[in-house]
Structure 1
């Protein structure tokens, strides 16, 4: 299921994770089925079309460092995936994306107005689940994470302020719009399982570094897709004038690449220039964040879940 099948996980742990992820899938389906606007749009494919499920996997793995009670870790894992699905729908509206995971996006199918309602539904359900855990600190941390997600997406649209280093701006953007939710996912799993403070902090740092690597990897894939593709058109960032890390490195030699949206008749040439001038350095940075993520785990308990998290970092870097 998701990325779990790609990892070498100890048998007992693998069985617990698989069972946990299956329980998350059931809860995701229940939320999608309960959407009050199903007469307008069936949102069940949004949660049944796959996806890596990295965020709920992180939450479940982090819960291994404590002692989960009841179903709190399942509720937490479901909640972070609902928030993620909500942001995907929002991103597609903002980007006017036509596809998501090789299928028509919600906004392309039913329009922006209905897509916004879908996103709001998943986000509201995520907030409701978080509140159901009965801990004000969890609600406050979730609210702060949502604040960061919106701040990051907004900063990306606004662009760097005059005099701001473009790479620094990019790293601040992805720290908010991507890494914050993976950081929260790790912290949340450890917290609901009452893991020790040292492990909890280490897992949060790990989640942040993994999120940075994850976004850099996605930005690399926009230029050089992996085998099988990504489910979105190649060169979307260049077409929309979004200056990602490989583009910024290439723009040191070809400044026009970071000057705004690349016209359709220039896209092939722009992709070639970024591939030649920016991918190597971006991949080095991806590897750096993957190694940094693993380094954070030295303070966490030496249990099978730690090995699985190390393998997950390698997967993100190499996939």
Structure 2
């Protein structure tokens, strides 16, 4: 993250100090070791994966006008929008420098494709935002893009650097993809049910922005007409008053949509575990299985 332009390492250091789960780079490290990689390529590529993720966070927080990230003031709240966008660009560029230094066209293809897919997912979310006519298929398309794509790429490159057969690379890619969907489903439920400290960002951010997530979709589609009027007012018209978030949470709880979202996450988690079944039991496979359990357990 070093640069002679002082603001870049300052802002980057703010992000590092904020911590975070570091799940995506962990996936690259664990997948490479699971596949028997003996070198060090996976370390630089894990950093590359985290840089791509961090760049998207910087841009997302500007788009969403978020005040908190990982429980601390977001970079845009501290440094402003313009530096956050530009340092996000820098981190993307650094990630591509790392990919080029690795020298594998296949690795470059996997991570570059994931970067493009993430951007598509974010734009699609922007298009479907505030639209209660959004379908579950469109919602899943958004989270496959904005979250699952990088999880999938992070694990697939572990098999690629270890030069494992295509079947193993595809299995790890499927593991990452389904884990990523499960992770985002849990996140979307937590936005309406967690404490601010547990979530690491402001509770109800999705509601305030009018994001159409699965708990909202299920609540709207099962709602009586009077409830649908409420959802259209707060999400489509963004006409929100004190107590509306609490009412939205109460409606979701009465319809069981938060629990249904967690159950859907468990289904994807089970698929992620199934994808690992082609690998022999061992420390790395158990670690990857443990990540699935951790992601789902956040909902408790």
Deviations 1:256-301 (A, max 9, x none): 4264235142222122222332112111101111111101111234
User: Which residue pairs with 1:303 in the alignment?
Assistant: 282
CA distance 1:195–1:217, shift in 2 (3 Å)? same
Question: 2: CA distance between counterparts of 1:83 and 1:89?
Answer: 10
Normalising to structure 2: TM-score of the pair?
Answer: 0.89
Question: 2:200 matched to 1:231?
Answer: yes
User: Which residue pairs with 1:268 in the alignment?
Assistant: 246
Q: Report the more deviating stretch, 237-246 or 270-279.
A: 270-279
Task: Report the secondary structure of 1:225's partner residue.
Answer: coil
The alpha carbon displacement at 1:36 in A equals 2.1
Q: How does 1:1-319 map to 2 (within 5 A)?
A: 31=1, 33-34=2-3, 36-38=5-7, 41-159=10-128, 166-225=135-194, 228-252=197-221, 253=223, 254-255=227-228, 256-257=230-231, 259-260=235-236, 261=238, 263-265=240-242, 266-277=244-255, 278-319=257-298
Deviations 1:150-181 (A, max 9, x none): 00000000018x99751111000000100000
The alpha carbon displacement at 1:91 in A equals 0.8
The alpha carbon displacement at 1:70 in A equals 3.2
**Coordinate RMSD, CA, aligned:** 2.2
Note if contact 2:196-2:203 (Cα within 8 Å) is conserved in structure 1: no
Q: Give ranges in structure 2 of 5+ residues lacking alignment.
A: none
CA distance 1:95–1:64, shift in 2 (3 Å)? same
Note if contact 1:63-1:195 (Cα within 8 Å) is conserved in structure 2: no
How many residues are treated as equivalent by the alignment? 288
Deviations 1:227-266 (A, max 9, x none): 8421211111111110111111111213242642351422
CA distance 1:87–1:227, shift in 2 (3 Å)? closer
Q: Give ranges in structure 1 of 5+ residues lacking alignment.
A: 1-30
Normalising to structure 1: TM-score of the pair?
Answer: 0.84
Q: Report the more deviating stretch, 203-212 or 307-316.
A: 307-316
Note if contact 1:224-1:275 (Cα within 8 Å) is conserved in structure 2: no
